[in-house]
């Protein structure tokens, strides 16, 4: 993407009512919507997050399927989620919002037990050992998710990385956390939730064209 396109998208994001772009200090200090997201959506419907949302395919796709839930995509790359934010506005989806910030600040954005569900779609597996701290299902991230999720809340991991799938399953079993469902090839093996099969991201389509299996895990951290 050219720098002119990025600049244009950044500028357009500034005009979108469904995009929030706080500074890091604003998030770490006292984020005004923490524990009060019902005031933003003007309802008490369940809140679902897509972390590292990219173009926002799952944020928007799930919002269309479940109008009685509120969906928030979080990513530091605003030029990417511009597409999802624009689509949500054009299709008049009031239950969609995007936040431009670092994912590791999730527990500063939401109050205790304020979130019902988390989706992590095609994260960088960070295969090198020295990158372990950046894996979105490592113990530090799981602890952050635990802080904001309701007791019955779930985390969904959809990835093309067999390493990430295996790493996460091993970690969950080692920590004694409940795995509700696991599938190492969702399009080959039956049983995956409809939303796993019916919503596909830009990168997922590329992986499928290469014949890579797509994996999925649904688990609890509480």
Which amino acids are annotated catalytic? 124
- Among candidate residues 123, 116, 154, the one with its CA nearest the CA of residue 137: 123
> 115-121 and 149-159: which strand pairing?
parallel
* Tokens found for residue 14: 């500034």
Q: What is the largest CA-CA distance in the chain?
A: 49
DSSP class per residue in 126-168: --SGGGGGG-TTSHHHHHHHHHHEEEEEEEEEEES-HHHHHHH
d(CA 155, CA 142) in angstroms, rounded, equals 9
**Which residue reads 């295969």 in tokens?**
127
């Amino acid at each position: 993407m050219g720098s002119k396109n990025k600049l244009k998208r950044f500028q357009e994001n500034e005009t979108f009512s469904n995009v929030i772009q706080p500074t890091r200090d604003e998030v770490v200090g006292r984020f005004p919507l923490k524990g009060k997201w019902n005031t933003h959506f003007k309802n008490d419907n369940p809140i679902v997050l897509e972390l590292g949302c990219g173009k926002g395919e799952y944020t928007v796709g799930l919002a269309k399927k479940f109008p009685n839930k509120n969906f928030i995509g979080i990513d530091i790359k605003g030029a990417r989620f511009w597409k999802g934010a624009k689509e949500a506005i054009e299709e008049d989806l009031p239950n969609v919002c995007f936040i431009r910030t670092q994912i590791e600040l999730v527990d500063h954005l939401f109050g205790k037990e304020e979130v019902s569900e988390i989706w992590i779609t095609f994260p960088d597996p960070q295969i090198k050992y020295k990158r372990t701290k950046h894996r979105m299902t490592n113990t530090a991230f799981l602890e952050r998710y635990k802080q904001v999720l309701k007791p019955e809340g779930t985390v969904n991991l959809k990835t093309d990385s067999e390493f990430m799938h295996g790493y996460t399953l091993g970690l969950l079993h080692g920590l004694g956390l409940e795995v509700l469902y696991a599938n190492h090839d969702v399009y080959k093996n039956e049983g995956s939730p409809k939303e796993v099969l019916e919503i596909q991201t830009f990168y997922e389509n590329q992986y499928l064209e290469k014949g890579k299996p797509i994996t999925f895990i649904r688990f609890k951290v509480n």
